[in-house]
Structure 1
């Protein structure tokens, strides 16, 4: 005898099956979300300078090692483009934004936009000013300026100095300049050092320093030492010095340990560069971003930096000098540059 099922029972069975199907779908979605890797947005200014290609590769590698996915966008030195890239990343659901700001002030809009969607922001290498920035990971740029100035003044405690800073849109340019003056000002006050030229450039590029120094050397010949904000500016200064037959006869400091800068040190055109621990910098930022995405506060931010709006928890790493005597013990030993790339 066949079992007869009433219409009410059939309806109940159908509804139960639908509910069970929905619950299974939700369970699968929840389990899938548990396996989702944190997405870390990395907003970069430009890749035109050699060192930033290293930062990009190292950051991406470190985020992957820590179980996340790095989403990278390069703004080509356009602050409006960087803001749009931030908007797109936020809309696509990144968990944390790490920003190398194109403009120290305008990047505050990125922080404001991110916070509207509860996305924390880490400022990388360059400080974003006058906003409620969450974290800052960089090197101690005042100390870098002091290292540059100290080294040159030990060799030449008297003479005419030229200072070529980076762009005013980058707060690092001010910090480096402050470090220079911490060392130079007492010697200026004594009358031992005369700063004959002190200018900020528009970009961190060789043409800027070439233009600034060439204009000066057209009319004046007095220069014993030059301090540049980075190695790209230093290379532009070398080009100007060569045109005036002063290459190798003027002390010159740069920063970033670019391959060409280290070659210039070997050749005698540049006195020193500054090596930033970029691998440690990338790891510190990646580690902080992954922890934040997991709801944890980074445990190694023991200092704060005033960005004009608040005291921002920060990591500031130390840099080191590279000169003709210690190239093998610094950038080569660290694996930052291959020996064959320098000496061949």
Structure 2
């Protein structure tokens, strides 16, 4: 009897070890290799190319396979892309949304099929999101406004907003406007206008700023732009009027072209959102969700369907004074690329 008990104990321990080991690395609860479906908004943009590369690299380190597809800035295509990923028997869905209001049918289908969805940097509304990882978005907007105000805190300001379908754009705007409001109330700043930029397209932003400059007879003191792509378009329009470097412009994403503009004095500020950090965190979270494990959060955000567990990452304000100690020191860009020597 004693021998039988010992044998049963050994077999139990062996079974538990087997179950535990089968779920280590990149295996799901069934012991099969984890399959991650990654739906990206638009790989034509430098930012998302880097996110994809870092994400795939980390996921592969964790033993998971990644199937990714880009919607090329088309919300209808992204909906179809997600439905196609679901049909491929993925274990977890990761989405960088083009339109945070149009994807809920596909996300709910994934949930019904037992596939958890991780919202990557952009929230998706009115659906069952398992987890959300992003930056402190209002702080990004505050930093954009602060970077401009450090150069000029009086005069005629224009706000160039992001895509109206991007849920993040409203947080950027709120952060910027909250920062500008005391100056507006004192009469130091006049907000001469604002406009959203369809799909964050630089060509659209260029037309907006050209039209604004014409309407205002070039009388503008600063442009708070919601990212580097449209901020670059604003600088282009200003340059055509001989105003580049005279009218401070903001941005975000720390695109190389923006860093070069900052080095030249043509752009006042960008906001560096450590892309490698969010990509690595999202890859880790995706693998954990596929295994049914708890994912770290430091807050929550209601998306109209539920309070979604959220992990916020701190952004970094980048100006001409700290290029070397931020993006260059972090290896995001080289000094040679930024300064051209």
Q: What TM-score do you get using the length of structure 1 for normalisation?
A: 0.88
CA distance in 1, matches of 2:258, 2:73: 23
Q: CA deviation at 1:35?
A: 5.4
- Offset of 1:277 from its aligned partner? 1.1
Gaps of 5+ in 2: 1-21
Name the structure 1 match of 2:7: none
Question: Is residue 265 of structure 2 the alignment partner of residue 268 of structure 1?
Answer: yes
**How far has the Cα of 1:327 moved from its partner?**
1.1
1:78 matched residue in structure 2: 74
Q: Kindly indicate whether the alpha-carbon contact (under 8 Å) linking 2:35 and 2:66 is maintained by their aligned counterparts in 1.
A: yes
Deviation of the 1:322 alpha carbon: 1.1
1:126-205 aligned at under 5 Å gives the runs 126-205=122-201
Aligned mate of 2:118, from 119, 122, 138: 122
Distance in 2 of aligned mates of 1:140 and 1:262:
21
Aligned residue for 2:92? 96
For residues 128 and 139 of structure 1, the distance between their equivalents in structure 2, rounded to whole angstroms, comes to 15
Q: Which residue of 2 aligns with 1:56?
A: 52
The Cα shift of 1:219 comes to 2.5
1:330 is matched with which residue: 326, 330, 333?
A: 326
C-alpha displacement of 1:80: 1.9
Matches within 5 A, 1:12-91: 36-91=32-87
Q: TM-score, normalised by structure 2?
A: 0.89
Larger Rg: 1
User: In structure 1, what is the Cα distance between the partners aligned to 2:188 and 2:79?
Assistant: 47
What is residue 209 of structure 1 aligned with on the other side?
A: 205
- Residue number in structure 2 paired with 1:235: 232
What 5-or-longer segments of structure 1 have no aligned partner? 1-29
Q: Distance in 2 between matches of 1:73 and 1:262?
A: 28
Q: Corresponding residue for 2:250?
A: 253
Please say if residues 147 and 268 of structure 2, whose CA atoms lie closer than 8 Å, have aligned partners that are also in contact: no
Q: For residue 85 of structure 1, report the CA deviation from its aligned partner.
A: 1.5
Whole-Å Cα distance in 2 between the matches of residues 52 and 42 of structure 1?
A: 12
1:277 corresponds to 2:282: no
Deviation of 1:263 (Å)? 0.5
How far off its partner does 1:66 sit? 1.3
Q: Matched residue of 1:163: which SS?
A: strand
What's the CA shift for 1:98? 0.5
Aligned with residue 109 of structure 1, among 102, 105, 108: 105
Count residues with an aligned counterpart. Answer: 314
- Of the three residues 333, 336, 339, the one matched with 1:340 is 336
Q: Matched residue of 2:320: which SS? A: coil
Q: What do you get for the CA RMSD once the two structures are aligned? A: 1.6
